[in-house]
Amino acid sequence: MATSDVRVDTWNAGVDFPIFDAKTRSIKKSVIGAAGGVIGATGSNVMVVEALKDINLHLRHGDRVGLVGHNGAGKSTLLRLLAGIYEPTSGSCRVRGRVAPVFDLGVGMDPEISGYENILVRGMFLGMSRKEMLRKVDDIAEFTELGDYLEMPLRTYSAGMRVRVALGVVTSTDPEILILDEGIGNVDAAFMKKSRKRLQELVERSGILVFASHSNEFLAQLCDRALWIDHGRIRQEGGIEEVVEAYEGPEAAANVRRVLADMDKDADSTDGEDAE
Ligand SMILES: Nc1ncnc2c1ncn2[C@@H]1O[C@H](COP(=O)(O)OP(=O)(O)OP(=O)(O)O)[C@@H](O)[C@H]1O
């Protein structure tokens, strides 16, 4: 697909979850808590969680958007809507392009088969062919630094070891639209440092990135715009620093500035190395 054709559009999109087995007093009015979406009730007293409401989003090639917001704000629901896992219950959503959804890096991995086999299966789950994955498997194996462990069943791995495999696979794919949900937190600092470059390259290769994270550091590293989702609605849209400041305050914004400045420094020193 031509890069100009890759796009994500939603028009007043909403997602409601009816909850048929909620044990509660009847709810007459909508309830907004500190966490979670808006809870209401239908005419027949079925509870409904309004996870997203009136979402208007128009992303084009090159857009790298981070989602911030409280627990239950609707970030994961929005990612799932864009990935086609959920249909909008109101409004509409159209996505053109090959989507790689990475919600939980570990999802789609089989604990009973080896690390190697999981690399192949997970790559195919993300839209790569078996042949392509066979070509990439050695490079991914080397990246994970798991050595002979890759012959062992995945159930024998620690959480961080599993994330290494998953990160190795996802950063080897070529999605047009990359939909990324946190879950990268489990690896140790040294491996994360090494992964950052691969993740940034992946983001550069993909046409559109939508990334939900509670880590401002990650958002600053991977995205250039942010959306603040609040109780299912887009509350603010803008640069990362500006949105983080509105959502979390000046200290968090200062941290974003520091991360951006460090990235500039790293880029300058790498340019220097390239020139040598
Ligand atoms: N399958 C589901 N069934 C019912 N309610 C759901 C379902 N998935 C999400 N919700 C509700 O939708 C709202 C939004 O949840 P979502 O997982 O999108 O939030 P989030 O912003 O990703 O939160 P977090 O930061 O905690 O991961 C919450 O109130 C949640 O309870």
Instruction: Answer whether residue 30 shows pLDDT above 70.
Output: no
Average pLDDT over all residues of the chain = 86
How confident is the model at residue 63, as a pLDDT? 93
Model confidence pLDDT, tens digit, residues 198-249: 888 888 888 899 999 888 888 898 899 999 999 999 999 999 999 999 999 9
Residue 137, helix vs strand vs coil: helix
Ligand 1 atom with the smallest distance to the CA of 182 is: 27
Strand order from edge to edge, sheet including 90-96: 38-41, 47-60, 7-19, 90-96
Model confidence pLDDT, tens digit, residues 125-168: 888 899 999 999 999 999 999 999 999 999 999 888 888 898 89
Mutate to test the pocket of ligand 1, among 31, 50, 68, 75 (most ligand atoms within 8 A of CB): 75
How confident is the model at residue 3, as a pLDDT? 64
Query: What percent of the chain has pLDDT above 70?
Result: 84
How many of the other CB atoms lie within 10 Å of CB of 158? 9
Mutate to test the pocket of ligand 1, among 15, 16, 17, 231 (most ligand atoms within 8 A of CB): 17
Residues 46-54, mean pLDDT to the nearest whole number: 89
How confident is the model at residue 227, as a pLDDT? 97
The residue that leads in pLDDT, 49 or 225, is 225
The strand pairing partners of 50, in sequence order, are 16, 38
Domain ranges in the chain are: 3-98+208-271
Residues 22-49, mean pLDDT to the nearest whole number: 66
Instruction: Answer whether residue 268 shows pLDDT above 80.
Output: no
Nearest residue (by CA) to ligand 1, atom 25, is 71
Question: 109 vs 105, 123, 129, 131, 158, CA distance in Å?
Answer: 9, 10, 17, 19, 14
How confident is the model at residue 139, as a pLDDT? 94
Rounded Cα distance, 99 and 208, in Å = 9
51 lines ligand 1 (CB under 6 A): yes
Residue 84, helix vs strand vs coil: coil
How confident is the model at residue 272, as a pLDDT? 55
Provide the token pair at 99.
């989507």
How confident is the model at residue 134, as a pLDDT? 95
Q: What is the pTM of this model?
A: 0.83
Instruction: Answer whether residue 275 shows pLDDT above 60.
Output: no
Residue with tokens 């500035």: 257
Query: What percent of the chain has pLDDT above 90?
Result: 49
Instruction: Answer whether residue 253 shows pLDDT above 90.
Output: yes
Q: 3-98+208-271 maps to which CATH number? A: 3.40.50.300
How confident is the model at residue 266, as a pLDDT? 72
The residue that leads in pLDDT, 78 or 193, is 78
ipTM of the shown complex: 0.97
26 lines ligand 1 (CB under 6 A): no
14 lines ligand 1 (CB under 6 A): no
Tell me the residue type at 79.
Answer: L
| Banded model confidence at residue 274, pLDDT cuts 50, 70, 90 | very low
Residue with tokens 């949105």: 243
